[in-house]
Amino acid sequence: MDVLIKEFMDKIITRNQHEPEFLQAVQEVAESIIPFIEDHPKYKEHKILERIAEPERIITFRVPWLNDQGEVEINRGFRVQMNSAIGPYKGGLRFHPSVNQSILKFLAFEQVFKNSLTGLPMGGGKGGSDFDPKGRSNNEVMKFCQSFMTELYRHIHADIDVPAGDIGVGAREIGYLFGQYKRIQGEFTGILTGKAAEFGGSLIRPEATGYGVVYFAEEMLKTRGELLEGKTVVVSGSGNVAQYTVEKCIQVGAKVVTLSDSGGFIYDPKGIDESKLAYIKELKNVRRGRIEEYAKKFDCEYFEGEKPWRVKCDVAFPDATQNELDAKDALTLVQNGCFCVAEGANMPCTLDAVRVFDSARILYAPGKASNAGGVAVSGLEMSQNSLRISWSRDEVDSRLKQIMHQIHGACVKNGRLDKDFVDYTKGANISGFIKVADAMIAQGYV
């Protein structure tokens, strides 16, 4: 089997030489899917995995805009339209200086499997720009978003490709992007998700990824007769996903003791409560400040330039970015008694970190399963937009819970290795793959 995986990967490496994140994401999928394909020759015959690993289309474009000093700035915009076998391309936009083709291809590739797992009709895509919103005025962010959409608009539509938020793209950016699309096209339709509730956004979409990853962790813990209530929890990041992970943890009675940003992490042994969380939301979403300020405000420790993985915990939610948790961190977590890791971010754990979790046989879930709640509620936003109705918070939240439960069930079904251990990566990859693969076979070589 290792030879087959290597042969497959050698071809992928040759075609994508300078794309380490993309190769990492494909490697992880190939390790579960190639053995599965060996048992199901139709997928091999139709070269499904090879086709899934090649984007249907990548659009790259220039984004010129004027900053507050009246100077011209130039960024690069992207949209990776990865796979449309089961629905319109769907996936977020990331605005971060690190954005490049490799990162967006890995994210779009992951999105194909994730969106399939939700059970909703969404293909996979991802996009963004190397624009850094940090330190920019609202006016500059608006100018950038308008220029970005002035090219992107011709490639998206409610039935073609529906972007949303990701790192650096939240409600503010989605609002500006939507406004510009509407102005250019003269059309008010659901071409983006994550919109504000006043103009077609779904209730619970802001909360969905964070709430969803907690619902998923609760399902995982249940398989070992455990509850999240009373557990000590470590969270990284302090953006959208981290904030609502903390909110749901507080609601179910778990104690979150860390948060981080790219500057470092805070350790609050008393736990983050509702009022401290309200402070974080104001700090991060309104003032756009640094997490360090939390430590000063609530008199706790701040560790500059460090990640929170050495803090003792039962459950960890890596909610910041890719490859933020390596094998050494994984070993530290396991040695300190952590027995459940659910990814809120996309690919936050390196391949070697995952091997550490698997060999310790702790509960570990890959983002494509555990963070699918965000895109799932985006799918529900698309449905509400098409129907021109809006569902209540309770309605959307209960659908979200049901979807996370169903994804967990699919992972267990296809990932159970023995009576005590579920390989959630294998389960997620196989479950996500089957629907897309069967649709691709039915549609011929397109």
Residue 322 in the binding site for ligand 2IT (CB under 6 A): no
Instruction: Decide if residue 308 touches ligand NDP (CB under 6 A).
Output: no
Total residues at interface with ligand NDP (CB under 6 A): 23
Interface segment toward ligand 2IT; rule CB under 6 A; list 62-70, 84-92, 278-286, 292-300: 84-92
161, 166, 268, 324: residue in contact with ligand 2IT (rule CB under 6 A): 166
Q: Find the shortest distance in angstroms from Cβ 243 to ligand NDP.
A: 8
SS3 of the chain: CHHHHHHHHHHHHHHCCCCHHHHHHHHHHHHHHHHHHHHCHHHHHCCHHHHHCCCCEEEEEEEEEECCCCCEEEEEEEEEEEECCCCCEEEEEEECCCCCHHHHHHHHHHHHHHHHHCCCCCCEEEEEECCCCCCCCHHHHHHHHHHHHHHHHHHCECCCEEEECECCECHHHHHHHHHHHHHHHCCCCCCCCCCCHHHCCCCCHHHHHHHHHHHHHHHHHHCCCCCCCCCEEEECCCCHHHHHHHHHHHHHCCEEEEEEECCEEEECCCCCCHHHHHHHHHHHHHCCCCCHHHHHHHCCEEEECCCHHHCCCCEEECCCCCCCECHHHHHHHHHCCCCEEECCCCCCECHHHHHHHHHHCCEEECHHHHCCHHHHHHHHHHHHHHHCCCCCHHHHHHHHHHHHHHHHHHHHHHHEEECCEECHHHHHHHHHHHHHHHHHHHHCCC
Residue 212's closest CA among 382, 385, 348, 342? 342
User: Which residue of 32, 101, 322, 346 would you call a contact of ligand 2IT, by CB under 6 A?
Assistant: 346
240 binding partner (options ligand NDP, ligand 2IT, none; Cβ < 5 to 8 Å by kind): ligand NDP
* Closest-approach residue to ligand NDP (CB): 239
206 binds, among ligand 2IT, ligand NDP, none (CB under 5 to 8 A by kind): none
Query: Does the footprint of ligand 2IT cover residue 375 (CB under 6 A)?
Result: yes
Residue 378 sits in the site that holds ligand 2IT (CB under 6 A):
yes
Of 144-163, binders to ligand 2IT (CB under 6 A) are none
By CB under 6 A, residue 102 contacts ligand NDP: no
Coil vs helix vs strand at 262: coil
Q: Which range binds ligand 2IT by CB under 6 A, 87-95, 181-189, 275-283, 390-398? A: 87-95
For residue 237, state whether it binds ligand 2IT (rule: CB under 6 A).
no
Task: Select the residue interacting with ligand 2IT from 83, 129, 193, 384 (CB under 6 A).
Answer: 193
Of residues 236-275, those binding ligand NDP (CB under 6 A):
237-242, 261-263
Report if residue 21 touches ligand NDP, rule: CB under 6 A.
Answer: no
> Should residue 175 be labelled a site residue for ligand NDP when binding is judged by CB under 6 A?
no
Q: Name the one range near ligand NDP by CB under 6 A: 71-79, 218-226, 233-241, 265-273.
A: 233-241
- Say if residue 285 is exposed, middle or buried (CB neighbours under 10 Å; 0-12, 13-18, 19+): middle
Q: Give the nearer residue to ligand 2IT in terms of CB position, either 232 or 243.
A: 243
Annotated catalytic residue, options 126, 143, 284, 307: 126
CB closer to ligand NDP out of 168 and 432: 168
Strand partners, 258: 234, 267
Q: Is 350 in the site for ligand NDP (CB under 6 A)?
A: no
> Binder to ligand NDP among 350, 370, 371, 429 (CB under 6 A)?
371
Beta-carbon count within 10 A of 394 CB: 10
State in angstroms the smallest separation of the CB of 10 from ligand NDP. Answer: 28
Quote the distance between the C-alpha of residue 227 and its chain's center.
Answer: 24
Asked about 126 being catalytic, the answer comes back as yes
> Closest CB to ligand NDP among 84 and 260?
260
350 binds ligand 2IT (CB under 6 A): no
Of ligand 2IT, ligand NDP, none, which one sits near residue 431, judging by CB under 5 to 8 A according to partner kind? none
Of 123, 170, 348, 374, the one binding ligand 2IT by CB under 6 A: 374
- The answer to whether residue 344 forms part of the interface with ligand NDP (CB under 6 A) is yes
Query: CA–CA distance from 93 to each of 166, 245, 389 (Å)?
Result: 5, 21, 25
Mapped onto helix, strand or coil, the DSSP state of residue 92 is strand
CB of 127 to ligand 2IT, least distance (A): 10
Chain contacts with ligand 2IT (rule: CB under 6 A) = 90-92, 114, 164, 166, 193, 346, 374-375, 378
Catalytic residues: 126
